[in-house]
A and B are shown apart, each in its own frame.
Chain A
Amino acid sequence: MFFCSSVKSQEEKLVKADTIAKEVRLSEVVVSALLYERPSLQLSKSVSIIDKSVVRENINSNFIDLLNNVAGFTQVWEYHSPIILRGMNSKRLLIMQNSCRKIGTFPGGYFAQDLNVYGSNKIEIIKGAGSVIYGTGAISGIINVINKAKFGDLKTTGKLSTGYGTNNGEYFGLLDICHRSRNLSIRLNSKYRKTDDYHFGGGDIAENSSVTDKDIGLCLAYKLDSSNTLFFNTDYHYGNWGKPRGFNGPTKYFTEIRNRESSGHADIRYSYHRGGLLEDLSLNIFYDTGKRDYYKYKHSLITGDRTNLDLVHYKNQYGGGRLYSILNISENTKLTLGADGYKFILDNPSEIVDYYNNTKGYRDNIKGAGQSTLGVFLNNEYLGLGDVKIVGGIRYDIAKIEEGEENGKMGSHRNLDAVSGNISMVYSLPNNTFLSFNIGRAFRIPTAEELFTQIISCKGVKKGNPNLKPEYGWDFDLGYRGSILEGRLSWDLALFYNKLEGYINEIGAPKGSGVDFTYENTNAKILGGEISSTYSWINIFNSDDRILANASLSYVYGVDEYKGDKPLFGIPPCKSRFSIQYKSKQVKSIIKSYNFKIESLLDFEQNRVPEIPKDSDVGPWGYLPSASHMIFNMSCGLSLNNLLLSPSIKLKINNILDTEYHPWGSYILGMGRNIKLMIVFRI
């Protein structure tokens, strides 16, 4: 939550004392909520911002590792965890890269394992209904991973980082090169990461959990003139990762699952920015292509040898775009008009290998399954009521979901439409504090997999239900946030209530059907809240040091109304995070800066878990109660001046006490103690 460098915007505030510039907490600015900059405190929903410096400070391994410390998010496993916000998985959480939708081929949605966390400048998280601007899937919120262009005086900088983690023999290397001038910004970034199997707390090995990541990305921005800018982003990812044996239940140790994937992304954006009636005009188009080979081996429990392999080749491509304009209708009214859409296509041929009986075969499965949407939206911000700001918007979408072709026969399709809307109010109280209220109606269209397709997953065989209807969420958010004492104390209290109509839930399939799971529409409600706060003490031992304390608490309660108010699947326990950090700058000596941090992560017990669907095996997560557990982490960092390549060293020790614990929902233990060291050289 702490933002270190100064930002040139109207909301920026620098406090000087004794002629030495001090860092105070600035009012952070976000773009993703309304498509133009607004201070996060003045929005009607809870916002979290993750700066790239935080990623490096935490030596995060991947996206889910990064999000686990953000109030409202929950991690189930290392690396391959579904992303869960407010008890809803990534099918109901829209994840974007430079405002371009990301779509995954996992049953649980997009896992973001193919996003390079070190490749972005900033990650903006807006919690709450976001369908008006972003369309389908933005029920619990949106995450936007942003590559920001930097223009300025001619400069080329580079950063080379290398690191090692003891728990899983992790080795990683990062390269980041930026070149900028007044009109041109180029950034090249790459990452290589390779691990062995990791160790659980207590020392046992999580077999088959090794990971290899290779990422490269290029961001280009060119200013045609003061109003017109072109942006181009492209990146490539290769991954090879396994799921720990036994992650999907104690009786499923005989399965071994690995994924080998590669994906590419490109987006182009044209931006026109000027004052006057037409403040902004933006057009972006994007294209993604990906391939994921899903290896599901089965082993003989008698000999331990591999007996079978189901190898599914997921091949997907999707693309889309958005056109919007921001109009200053009057001094107090800002109107955003826009349209966007996307199309997603999936093939999933598979191979079947029987090692025991020496047979091999294939299945075409489906070709050309997928969905497409087209939506138009209008969002209006009205500032003319003094201390009260009103924002309201409406959106209409049409969608087509296609079954695709199977065995040479064209399948069916469904046409759906959806209306979403939002109305919110932000009341500015004295002393930079704000009270907000938001009502939003968001939606999610069922995917082709949920409607039509039969797939093999780690959970078993899943078959779609062609009668599914769209999900709708009525989201009510109440917020109280502020920043006082010259930014030294800030807080964000967010309470939410989600009424989910047509919530698409998994159910066990009928006996003897040859299928393990299918889907049904149900009704559910999810309520809860998050509170997070930061306080800083300054001038502890000298004029350039401070102590920062961060605390957060999040709680979710979910009810499956279809099953007589039973616990809803996927509701995490109450979580608390606390950290205290000491930071100091010593510009006069060889030590540029140093910091030390201790943090505690407490997950309370969760006994409200759903019953396992009748006559089906356990799923890979979410059906087991979890005991409470507390993990301690520690980190420190040192940046050196006046040395060749200005090195900095970061040390992070996760799970210092090597605690054995079961993360909520998981059948396997969490990672044990991990000592990570990173050295950064600057050019």
Chain B
Amino acid sequence: MKKIILLLILAASIFSCTKDDENEKQTKQKEVKETFTSLESPYLICAGRNPGGVAFDFIYKGNKGGSNNVDDIKMKELNPDMVVKTVKGQKSETNKSLGGMPSIRLSSKAKGLNYSAQDSKFIGYKSYLKIIKISDIKLDETKFKSDDSSFDLTKLKKGSSGKSLISDIAKEYKKLVIGNKWLKSAHNTIEGDEPIWIIKTSEGKYVKMIVKRFPAIINGKATNGYISLEWSILEE
């Protein structure tokens, strides 16, 4: 009798472990199965149509992440490394028309580097494609910077339109590592002069990023409000 009870206890423990294993397997399988629901380039960053902008979480739970609209987050634990958004500014004290001021902002835990400024051999999309591993470039950790923590658009003086002056916004953008320096100028059509950015994510991984075109080309036409941006995790 004692042997039977012992056998039963042993069987129960084996079953429960198996169940645990299965549960763990199922949990792991769940974790593995959760793919990142991501937007694709070109991204809508128009101040009127998408005022919240687009957030990029490059590494999501240890795997490749992606982007969500700030006003429609699909991934519950999104932890953005970078946000691209546009604000409106007043053109001047006398010219009260508004203009769009897009920018790229890094999170407090992310850092960025204009690699093209460091190594002029790496500039433009063709060069961007050649960077696959960290070892393809020479990264100097000391050159990575964070956005200035004093960056704050809300403290800027407002014009009569209710918006800050474009010149003041531009000055504030200089506190950002990337800011609006991701292209020589909007509507720039010169091929091959786009800077390549390297971003160190909050997880300590390295990502390359390039703004290919702004405004983005959609159906063969430069389309206001859209940015064509590409990024990729560098292999170690």
Inter-subunit contact A362/B97 (CB<8 Å): no
Who on chain B is nearest to A306 by CB? B48
Contact A300 B162 (CB under 8 A): no
- Mark out the residues of chain B between 183 and 201 whose CB falls within 8 Å of any chain A CB in the assembled complex: 185-187
Residues of B within 8 A of A360 (CB): 162
Interface size counted on chain A using CB atoms at 8 A: 29
Q: Say yes or no for A188: interface residue by CB 8 A criterion.
A: no
B91 at the interface (CB under 8 A from A): yes
The A350-398 residues at the B interface (CB cut-off 8 A) are 352-354, 356-357, 359-364
Q: Is the CB of A514 within 8 A of B44?
A: no
- For A298, A307, A362, the residue with the greatest tally of chain B CB atoms inside 10 Å of its CB is A307
Are A301 and B163 closer than 8 Å at their CB atoms? Answer: no
B207 to chain A, nearest CB (A): 24
| Given A512-B186, A514-B99, A617-B224, A362:B160 Cβ within 8 A | yes
Interface residue A615 (Cβ < 8 Å from any Cβ of B) = yes
Task: Known contacts A512-B186, A514-B91, A615-B222; decide if A352 and B49 are in contact (CB<8 Å).
Answer: no
Contacts of A300 in B (CB 8 A): 48-52, 71
Q: How many A-B residue pairs have CB under 8 A?
A: 77
Q: How far is the CA of A251 from the CA of B163 in the complex (A)?
A: 26
B222 touches A354 (CB 8 A): no
Report the separation of the CA atoms of residues A299 and B50 in the bound assembly, to the nearest whole angstrom.
8
Interface band, chain B: 20 to 34
Please tell me if the beta carbons of A307 and B161 are within 8 angstroms of each other in the complex.
no
* Nearest-neighbor residue (CB-CB) of B161 within chain A: A361
A454-B162 contact in complex given A302-B69, A302-B71, A512-B187, C-beta closer than 8 Å:
no
B50 touches A302 (CB 8 A): yes
Tell me, yes or no, whether A254 is within 8 Å of chain B by CB: yes
User: A213 CA to B188 CA in the complex, in Å?
Assistant: 48
Query: Does B170 reach chain A (CB closer than 8 Å)?
Result: no
- Partner of A454 from the list B48, B52, B97, B223 (CB cut-off 8 Å) is B97
A542 within 8 A of B: no
CB-based nearest A residue for B218: A251
Contact B88 A354 (CB under 8 A): yes
In the complex, A308 has a CB within 8 A of chain B:
yes
Q: Is A16 an interface residue (CB 8 A)?
A: no
B49 touches A298 (CB 8 A): yes
Measured between beta carbons, the chain B residues less than 8 angstroms from A645 are: none
1/0 per position for B43-60, CB-CB distance to A under 8 A?
Answer: 010011111100000000
Chain A hits for B186, CB < 8 A:
512
Q: Are B162 and A361 in contact (CB under 8 A)?
A: yes
Closest to B93 in A: A407
A364 and B87 CA atoms in complex are apart in Å by 22
Measured in the bound complex, the distance between the Cα atoms of B71 and A302 in whole Å is 7
Q: Does A303 contact B (CB under 8 A)?
A: yes
Q: Which residues from A are CB-within-8-Å of B91?
A: 514
- Indicate whether B96 reaches chain A with its CB closer than 8 angstroms: yes
C-alpha gap A354/B51 in the complex (Å): 10
In the docked arrangement, what's the CA distance between A617 and B49, Å?
15
Most central of A299, A360, A363 by chain B CB within 10 Å: A363
Mark contacts of A200-213 with chain B using CB atoms, 8 A cut-off: 1 yes-contact digit, 0 otherwise. Answer: 00000000000000
> Are A363 and B161 in contact, with the CB atoms below 8 A?
yes
Question: Quick one: which of B118-159 are within 8 Å of A by CB?
Answer: 158-159
Contact of A302 among B52, B88, B96, B224 (CB under 8 A): B52
Alpha-carbon gap, A454 to B98, bound state (A): 12
Q: A300-B50, A354-B88 are in contact. Are A359 and B158 (CB under 8 A)?
A: yes
Are B97 and A302 touching (Cβ within 8 A)?
A: no
Instruction: Determine if B51 and A356 form an interchain contact, defined as CB atoms under 8 angstroms apart.
Output: yes
Return chain B residues, CB-CB under 8 Å to A407.
94, 96
Contact with A along B70-95 (1 / 0, CB 8 A): 01100000000000000110110010
Q: Is A511 an interface residue (CB 8 A)?
A: yes
Q: Is A361 within 8 A of B158, CB to CB?
A: yes
Q: A361-B96, A362-B161, A362-B162 are in contact. List 20 more A-B contacts (CB 8 A).
A: A251-B223, A254-B49, A299-B48, A300-B52, A300-B71, A302-B72, A303-B71, A308-B47, A308-B88, A352-B98, A352-B162, A352-B163, A357-B87, A360-B162, A361-B158, A363-B96, A363-B161, A511-B187, A512-B185, A514-B99
B: which residues have CB within 8 A of A?
A: 44, 47-52, 69, 71-72, 87-88, 90-91, 94, 96-99, 158-163, 185-187, 222-224
Interface residues of A (CB under 8 A from B): 251, 254, 298-303, 307-308, 352-354, 356-357, 359-364, 407, 454, 461, 511-512, 514, 615, 617
Q: Can you list 25 residue pairs at the A/B interface with Cβ under 8 Å?
A: A298-B48, A299-B49, A301-B49, A302-B44, A302-B52, A302-B72, A352-B98, A352-B161, A352-B162, A356-B51, A360-B162, A361-B96, A361-B158, A361-B159, A361-B161, A362-B161, A362-B162, A363-B96, A363-B160, A363-B161, A407-B94, A461-B97, A512-B185, A615-B222, A617-B224
